[in-house]
Structure 1
Amino acid sequence: MREREYRAAMLLECLGEPNRFQILRWLESRPRSVSELARLMKRSLPTVCHHLAVLRMMHLVRFRNRGVNTFYELKTPVALDLLRAAIDIAPKLALTDAEANRS
């Protein structure tokens, strides 16, 4: 596998995790603190921090410290294009599966 394909596969794996997918959706509108994300997602702070670390490693988010709070924001809106494409494609795949099961 070429480096470019490997990176694409790693990106899809990263975004395929529901918590990370949701974090990016929450960050779509504005930067949010870790505690706000944890509250919105109904997840523990360590869980949210773990997923944010993975997103940071993939260069999808960046953070800023403001006082005692850490705020995360999207590093680039390009990842949202992939999320939106997945949201658009998913129902079509489900429809295709349903059609295939009728055959």
Structure 2
Amino acid sequence: MEKSKSLLDEETLFNVTQVFKALSDPTRVQILNLLQDREYSVNEIARTLSFNQTTVSHQLRFLKNLRLVKSRREGTSIFYTQDDNHVLELLSQAVRHVQHH
């Protein structure tokens, strides 16, 4: 039986579900939404969103492992931003879809 071209390979399927898993958490969505404007340090994110710094660090690690955010170090601070425009597009499309109704 010939495999359909529209079927996803196992690795792609797993990675796509991980991205949706990341977007299923309100804390992670708020962090990604904040990062669409500019880069922020962990402390700035925690302060702006009124989250515990430990919580923010944990969520950023999760998002970074999925390549949804990237970081850069400046002295003792680590700054985060969205990894690329695909992240912004995913989030923007989801928000537009929800607000459409």
Equivalent in 24, 33, 37 of residue 41 of structure 2: 33
CA RMSD of aligned residues (A): 1.4
How many Å separate the matches in 2 of 1:4 and 1:69?
Answer: 33
Equivalent in 41, 51, 65 of residue 43 of structure 1: 51
| Matched residues, number | 93
How many Å separate the matches in 1 of 2:85 and 2:23?
Answer: 14
Structure 2's unaligned 5+ residue stretches are 1-8
How many Å separate the matches in 2 of 1:68 and 1:2?
Answer: 39
Partner of 1:81: 89
TM-score of the superposed pair, with normalisation by structure 1: 0.82
Structure 1's unaligned 5+ residue stretches are 96-103
Partner of 2:3: none
Q: How big is the shift at 1:91?
A: 3.7
Equivalent in 61, 67, 90 of residue 59 of structure 1: 67
Q: Give the ranges of 4+ consecutive aligned residues of structure 1 lying more than 2 Å apart after TM superposition.
A: none
Q: What is the percent sequence identity of the aligned residues?
A: 31
- Structure in which a larger fraction of residues adopt helix: 1
TM-score of the superposed pair, with normalisation by structure 2: 0.84
Q: Name the stretch that deviates more: 42-51 or 65-74.
A: 65-74
